[in-house]
Amino acid sequence: MRRHGRAPLSGGVGALFLWLVASALMGPPSAVAARQDAPPPDDGGAAQPGSEPSQPPAPPQSTGSADDGQSSSQANSSQVPPGMESSWVVRVYKIRPSRLFKGLLESLQAEGYPPEEVDESSRRVKSSFIDFKQGNFELQVAEPPPRLGGDYHVLQLLKMKVGKVSLEGVVQPGDDGSVLRVRARILVTGLDRVKKVHIFVDRRSTGVIEADFIHKLEARLGLEHL
């Protein structure tokens, strides 16, 4: 009967011992709750729900290309380099300056040189750049390029085949009527041997393009130069 009465006591002591061991391993209830509320570990960079996303990396810088070089060169070509301006082709007509200037604007538009800069007070006009082909003219429209050497390092064809051209015209009063001055600005492609890109560069005009335009203007207005 003694052994039968001690069994519940042994069982109770054993249960109490197991509960103490479990409590020591698990810690207090607050610690258990804290572990349950903790966010899961980082999964290698994926954004967590409710967290701020990381900043994206900066985009790579564009290195550009030969075509970019051509475009930027043409856009920044408002000033003609020293010594590269073409000579004026001059004609004198027995006509009022105002009428000649009006005819000049109309002829530029009609011949495919749309006026871009017009100064009515000084009777000066510059057209937009347009494409041209050397094959449309019997004579060379541009002088040979500068020689390589020194600070000049743009390689060009001796006889170019295509390019861009803009016409500039000025009308001034003259002794017997009006004086017309016309000059062309010619741009052709060249290879910058330092930067290794193709760019637009100026070439001096031989006067062929100017003379061709003036001939069409005279026919349009019925003029003969003096």
**pLDDT per position in the chain (226 positions), as tens?**
444 444 444 455 555 555 554 555 455 544 434 344 444 444 433 333 444 434 433 333 333 333 444 443 443 456 898 889 999 999 999 999 999 999 999 999 999 999 999 999 999 999 999 999 999 999 999 999 998 888 889 999 999 999 999 999 999 999 989 999 999 999 999 999 999 999 999 999 999 999 999 999 999 999 999 9
Which amino acid is present at 143? E
3-class SS at 31?
A: helix
Cα–Cα dist 127/169, whole Å: 9
Predicted pLDDT at 82: 86
The rounded distance, in Å, linking the Cα atoms of 217 and 107 is 6
H helix intervals, the chain: 2-26, 29-37, 66-75, 97-110, 208-221
State how far the Cα of 43 lies from the Cα of 41, in Å rounded to an integer.
Answer: 6
Res 127: pLDDT: 98
CA angle 77, 74, 170 (to 5 degrees): 55
- Predicted pLDDT of residue 47: 39
Which CA distances in Å does 158 have to 148, 155, 164, 185, 201?
Answer: 12, 9, 16, 17, 13
Report pTM: 0.66
Query: What integer pLDDT is reported at residue 219 of this predicted model?
Result: 97
Within 47-196, strands assigned E span 89-93, 115-119, 124-127, 130-133, 154-155, 162-174, 177-192
Predicted pLDDT at 84:
92
